[in-house]
């Protein structure tokens, strides 16, 4: 994926560009808001990494401008402050994700890749964890490349979990996805599906664990 990094610190920008290149993502650098505007106008990128503290403008202005002209490019905001309102403000302005400095480089790459997997970026794709993979276009789950039949609802739950692997999927979100928003159901209905899914994946030898975060949601991760 092509990435534009807007960051006034030359040294950091150089390191990030180098690191991204090594991770297989060609990146370009803009040091000021003006330069970024110019580059966004003449070229298209899959994602923009945007530092909020630019010398000539507030980074959020660029977010607003891009969203105003309905530019679908994914935006990952970087900020030096874990300030109270920064995060909300950034997300409200239309940024897709947010990272506080200092960050782990791996984390930056993971977030960028997660952004590019968002529905707006691509439709069909294969999600995978350990020996488990999921084809979102064919709606089919594979363990060690062997396809397995799962019910539609089990597939829906698995897709949600795998799209956010390593992160918690709120219980409410799973409920809404399975039974529609506002659907009145017993609180352990979701737990029943997750339990079945867990059992089937285990039977087929998938090396993943679906964690129940009691009271909060579910998370899929590699089995240890």
Partner 1 sequence: MLWSRSIVRRILWMHVVAVGTIALFVPLSLYLLLVAETSSLHREAMREQADRIASHLVTTGGRWRLDLPKDMRDLYSEALGRYIYAVVGDDGTVLFSSRYAAQAIFPDAPFTSKPEFLQAEPPHSNISGTRIPRTEGDHTVYIEVAENLSHRDVLIDDIVSNFIPRVAWITLPILLLLLGVETHVVRRVFRPVQEASERARQISPRRTDIRLSLQDIPSEIAPLVVAVNEALDRLEQGFRVQREFTADAAHELRTPITILRTRIDTLVDDRVAEPLRRDLETMTRVVTQLLEMAEVENMALGDSERADLLAVAADVIAFLVPLAIAEGRSIALSGVEEPVWVAGHAEVIGRAFRNLIENAIRHTPAGTVVEVIVEADGTVHVCDEGPGIADAEREFLFRRFWRRDRKRSGGAGLGLSIVRRIMELSGGSVTVANRTDGGACFTLRFRVVPAAADQDGAAVVQAAERDDGAAPAS
* Pairing assessment for the beta strands 140-143 and 132-135 based on DSSP bridges: antiparallel
Q: What 3-state class would DSSP assign to 78?
A: strand
Angle between helix axes 171-179 and 189-203 (nearest 10 degrees) is 90
Smallest gap from Cβ 125 to partner 1, in A, equals: 19
Instruction: Give burial (CB, 10 Å; 0-12/13-18/19+) of 182.
Output: exposed
Edge-to-edge, what's the strand order for the sheet holding 208-213?
Answer: 169-170, 217-222, 208-213
Q: Which is nearer to partner 1, 166 or 205 (CB)?
A: 166
Tell me how far, at minimum, the Cβ of 152 lies from partner 1, in Å: 23
Cis bond leading into 190, ω under 30°?
no
The nearest distance, CB 216 to partner 1, in angstroms, is: 5
Q: Which is nearer to partner 1, 110 or 130 (CB)?
A: 110
Indicate the residue among 113 and 140 with the shorter CB distance to partner 1: 113
CB of 212 to partner 1, least distance (A): 9
Q: What angle do CA 4, 8, 14 make, to 5 degrees?
A: 60
Shortest CB 155 distance to partner 1, Å:
20
Q: Kindly list the residues in this chain that would bind partner 1 in the complex (CB under 8 A).
A: 9, 11-12, 15-16, 18-19, 22, 53, 80-85, 87-88, 91-92, 96-107, 110-111, 164, 166-170, 211, 213-217, 219, 221, 224
Nearer to partner 1, 91 or 189 (CB): 91
* Residue with smaller CB distance to partner 1, 150 or 217: 217
Instruction: Please name the residues in contact with 164: beta carbons below 8 A apart, sequence gap of 6 or more.
Output: 219
């Amino acid at each position: 994926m092509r990435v534009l990094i807007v960051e006034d610190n030359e040294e950091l920008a150089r390191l990030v560009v180098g690191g991204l290149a090594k991770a297989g993502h060609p990146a370009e650098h803009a040091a000021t808001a003006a330069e970024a505007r110019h580059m966004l106008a003449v070229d298209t990128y899959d994602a923009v990494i945007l530092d909020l503290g630019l010398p000539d403008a507030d980074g959020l202005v660029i977010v607003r401008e891009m969203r105003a002209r309905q530019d679908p490019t994914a935006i990952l905001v970087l900020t030096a402050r874990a300030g109270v309102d920064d995060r909300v403000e950034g997300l409200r302005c239309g940024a897709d994700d947010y990272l506080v400095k200092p960050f782990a480089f791996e984390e930056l790459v993971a977030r960028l890749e997660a952004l590019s997997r968002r529905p707006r970026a691509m439709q069909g794709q294969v999600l995978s964890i350990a020996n488990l993979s999921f084809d979102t276009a064919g709606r089919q789950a594979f363990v060690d490349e062997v396809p397995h039949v799962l019910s539609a609802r089990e597939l829906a739950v698995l897709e949600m979990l795998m799209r956010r692997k390593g992160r918690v999927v709120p219980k409410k979100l799973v409920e809404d996805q399975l039974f529609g928003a506002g659907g009145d159901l017993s609180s352990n209905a979701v737990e029943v599906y997750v339990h079945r899914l867990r059992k089937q994946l285990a039977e087929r030898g998938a090396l993943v664990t679906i964690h129940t975060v009691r009271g909060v949601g579910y998370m899929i991760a590699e089995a240890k």
